[in-house]
Structure 1
Amino acid sequence: MGTSKLTKTVAAELAPRAITFIEWDADLPGFGLRVTPNGAKAWIIEYRAGGGGRRAPSRRMTLGPLATLTAEKARGAAKDLLAAARLGADPAKDRQSARAAPTVGELSKIFLKPETKVDRKASTLALYDLYFRVHILPALGSKRVQDVTDADVVKLHRDVGVEKPVTANRLIKVLSGFFSWAITDQKIRMDNPAKGIDLFREEGRERYLTSEELSRLGDALREAETTGLPHLVDDTKKSKHARKPENRFTKIDQFAAAAIRLLIFTGARLREILHLEWRNVDLERGLLFLDDSKTGRKPIILNAPALQILTDLPRIGKYVIAGQSAGAKDEQPRADLQRPWGALVKRAALGGLRIHDLRHTHASVGAGANLGLPIIGRLLGHRHPDTTAKYAHLDNDPLRRASERIAIEIAAAMGEPPRPAADVRSIGRRK
């Protein structure tokens, strides 16, 4: 072993020997260059862990080869690491731990296991799995969890948000939960890089059907059950497999029609109806008892129209809305209502209407009837009052009464003839 000022020139001129040797730097104790018999040269540091002391274990750590790390950069890195070691750090052990740390892809396999969070619903888990497979893993899967930075998360958010801003916002929420879990449960020392990310502005997607639109939907539903919905065919285009005119009609089965009616009469969520089992139906007391809704166990009130639908439905399996496997040993619930719903929306000229908008419509009718937001929230099974608050603008009767009282007093002061509120509304309807 020798000592000298390890400059670029000195490092280049060190010749290999019969055995490996280390040339230590004369100015920075603990910084050296290792040279092997075959001429390979690498920068190293040597220190005592735990802040030093004779009883502290001696560590040796390779910084990098001379071929890719200049003398100047190696000296700067060595200076920082040796200073940290004197303050109690252990750079070699930290590097070893970092190399053994899991990647986002590896840790996500544990995070997405059903037993990781016993209160997480299967539908939520399926959505998380989709987000990881399609968006998160391609961008961050190979990175060690603690190496993911705020900039990495922001880039993912912005890239996805170009076409899907809502999905991009949901990804941030999922990632924030993932990193929080990694920090708390997996004891990974890091800050959550998904916290504090500016989200895209989301426009409200609630849509409420008017009375006229509800009438069109009802007409289309009855037509679909009886004569069937006509196919809209472009007769200017020739099709080898086009149906004959008399066969260009599609009927909706009674279970799909029942599901759609139940959705709007009860305000239930789609999965709550499609996964509903007959054992959870109490026709005598007029209740549905849901074991596992989005907000946990909850009852759903059955009004007269909903009760009639359930009374008329045949029981051919354990699920109320029978699917293709109804009655089979491994019976599965119906997956969706996409085809019948798409046909109904097209026939009723309700472009863009989502099935979930039936739930919004149910709530909006209640709000417009001045039933009170707390009651509506309980009917819909909302866990938090804030969720129901989005219907507050529809509950306008108190505001209307206040507005009319103010206007009557102003009109009286102006000498205007008084006009009953009913007359004012009738004028608006005539217009």
Structure 2
Amino acid sequence: MGLYKRKDSSMWWMSFTYNRKQYHRSTGTSSYKLAEKIYAKVITQITEGKWFDLDESKQHTFDDLMEKFLKEHAPRKKASTHTRYISAIRHLKKALGGMLLADITPKVISNYMQQRLDQGVAPATVNREFRTLSIAFNLAWRQWEWVRENPCAKVQALPENNTRTRYLSSEEEERLLSASQGYLNGQLPDIITLALHTGMRQSEILSLMWRHIDLFRKTITVEKTKNNEPRTIPMNNTVYFLLLRKARSKVVTMTEYVFHTESGKSILRRNLMREFYKALAKAGIQGFTFHDLRHTFATRLVQCGVDLYSVAKLLGHKDISSTQRYAHHSTESLRQFITLLDTRKNTSENTSEGLKQS
């Protein structure tokens, strides 16, 4: 019992027992003399039976929550997740910054999500911000005892259009590859080409190392996948000669990453995105994302008559239902088989006509 300081705070904290329960409360001040007075007042209230359990949600703000979240929770996550947290919190803070946790109600959260939609932000992006807030509130509820419930639990995530399959036409591909020349130290065209011919995700390409490449067997092993299950992708000639060319230059750069910075480190996601969107703008291509290169890979395979099961294996989908979005693209590839009936009909008619003439 008494006053103490925590490593994560400049404030003085007090510890006391009430009704056989141990309490730890911030005094809200970094002044020891003031903290002594606050502590003495609490002890007096307890003695006189006038002290009641404080509502922690009225003692902490959104900013307190996010500071603790980024310090204690975020560092345990991978770098890309940490980056997404920071981006989400930056937007959340514009609306919720300075608010007491007690005042962040389901209604406030719903209004925030609607405001973001009104600003033209995609539902998937709003949901990522919402999930970040929910994770933080869960920690505040279950571990830190700052709130008595998670207000996000009463709010529904937004429906997302997961069936979107924007893909490049051959003409757009030529324009994009041409426009991307020179970006990322000349590596952007190769990154785009690799994505179009392997269906690899952005994170998979940026973390790709030479130990994952087998030029003899013509395979790429993707170790860090979204579902944590490694997969092996066979190379076509386009990818093989691309990597063969880069392998020869590896002797000069001496780096473990296939795509890298001048210092040999992996390329940061934000740097890739910045250069990629510059190339899209230069090529005059709208409504397209880096992930759509993966959609393009899958769509082209289906249009060539490849079955959905094989496409799912190449994409690393555990459930073929995720691959069903490409099913309608197989219609054109089946047209060639339907036209065989025309050929059969014409052959039959010609045969009948020949018999009559005989």
TM-score interval, smaller chain: 0.5 to 0.7
SS state at 1:194 partner: helix
Deviation at 1:312, TM superposition (A): 1.0
Distance 2:306 2:215 in 1: 25
- Contact 2:62–2:100 (8 Å) recurs in 1: yes
Task: Name the counterpart of 1:361.
Answer: 296
SS state at 1:154 partner: helix
- Contact 1:256–1:321 (8 Å) recurs in 2: no
Q: Which has the higher helix share?
A: 2
Distance 1:422 1:216 in 2: 39
SS state at 1:419 partner: helix
- Gap runs ≥5 in structure 1: 1-48, 50-55, 61-91, 226-249, 409-417, 424-431
Task: Name the counterpart of 1:269.
Answer: 201
Superposed CA offset, 1:3-28 (max 9, x none): xxxxxxxxxxxxxxxxxxxxxxxxxx
TM-score scaled by structure 1? Answer: 0.57
Distance 2:227 2:305 in 1: 25
Supply the RMSD in Å over aligned alpha carbons: 3.8
Question: What is the identity, as a one-letter code, of the residue corresponding to 2:85?
Answer: Y
Aligned residues with identical type, % of pairs: 26
1:343 maps to 2:302: no
Superposed CA offset, 1:223-280 (max 9, x none): 876xxxxxxxxxxxxxxxxxxxxxxxx7885422211110100011123213322232
Superposed CA offset, 1:269-306 (max 9, x none): 12321332223222223333344333335234132221
SS state at 1:301 partner: strand
SS state at 2:152 partner: coil
Alignment of 1:275-286 (within 5 A): 275-286=207-218
Deviation at 1:344, TM superposition (A): 5.9
Deviation at 1:361, TM superposition (A): 0.7
Task: Name the counterpart of 2:62.
Answer: 104
* Alpha-carbon spacing, 1:386–1:143, altered in 2? closer, same or farther (3 Å): farther
- Contact 1:262–1:306 (8 Å) recurs in 2: yes
Distance 2:344 2:155 in 1: 49
TM superposition outliers: structure 1 runs of 4+ over 6 Å: 397-402
* Alpha-carbon spacing, 1:142–1:419, altered in 2? closer, same or farther (3 Å): same
Task: Name the counterpart of 2:134.
Answer: 176
* Alpha-carbon spacing, 1:106–1:216, altered in 2? closer, same or farther (3 Å): closer
- Contact 1:367–1:373 (8 Å) recurs in 2: yes
Superposed CA offset, 1:159-202 (max 9, x none): 22211242333322222232233333334553322234355554
Question: What is the identity, as a one-letter code, of the residue corresponding to 2:294?
Answer: R
Task: Name the counterpart of 1:382.
Answer: 317
Task: Name the counterpart of 2:86.
Answer: 129
1:59 maps to 2:49: yes
Task: Name the counterpart of 1:245.
Answer: none
SS state at 1:161 partner: helix
TM-score scaled by structure 2? Answer: 0.67
SS state at 1:143 partner: coil
1:193 maps to 2:154: no
Deviation at 1:340, TM superposition (A): 5.9
Deviation at 1:125, TM superposition (A): 1.6
Deviation at 1:376, TM superposition (A): 2.0
Distance 1:308 1:152 in 2: 55
- Contact 1:110–1:116 (8 Å) recurs in 2: no
Question: What is the identity, as a one-letter code, of the residue corresponding to 2:63?
Answer: G
Deviation at 1:336, TM superposition (A): 0.6
Alignment of 1:144-155 (within 5 A): 144-155=100-111
SS state at 1:195 partner: helix
SS state at 1:93 partner: coil
Q: Which has the higher contact order (CA 8 A, sep 6+)?
A: 2
Distance 1:295 1:375 in 2: 18
Question: What is the identity, as a one-letter code, of the residue corresponding to 2:49?
Answer: R
Distance 2:230 2:344 in 1: 41
Deviation at 1:131, TM superposition (A): 1.1
Distance 1:223 1:172 in 2: 36
- Gap runs ≥5 in structure 2: 1-44, 347-358
Question: What is the identity, as a one-letter code, of the residue corresponding to 1:339?
Answer: E
Distance 1:271 1:143 in 2: 35
Question: What is the identity, as a one-letter code, of the residue corresponding to 1:333?
Answer: I
Question: What is the identity, as a one-letter code, of the residue corresponding to 2:323?
Answer: T
* Alpha-carbon spacing, 1:345–1:140, altered in 2? closer, same or farther (3 Å): closer
Task: Name the counterpart of 1:352.
Answer: 287
- Contact 1:264–1:362 (8 Å) recurs in 2: yes
SS state at 1:307 partner: helix
Deviation at 1:381, TM superposition (A): 2.1
Task: Name the counterpart of 1:325.
Answer: 263
* Alpha-carbon spacing, 1:137–1:358, altered in 2? closer, same or farther (3 Å): same
* Alpha-carbon spacing, 1:187–1:251, altered in 2? closer, same or farther (3 Å): closer
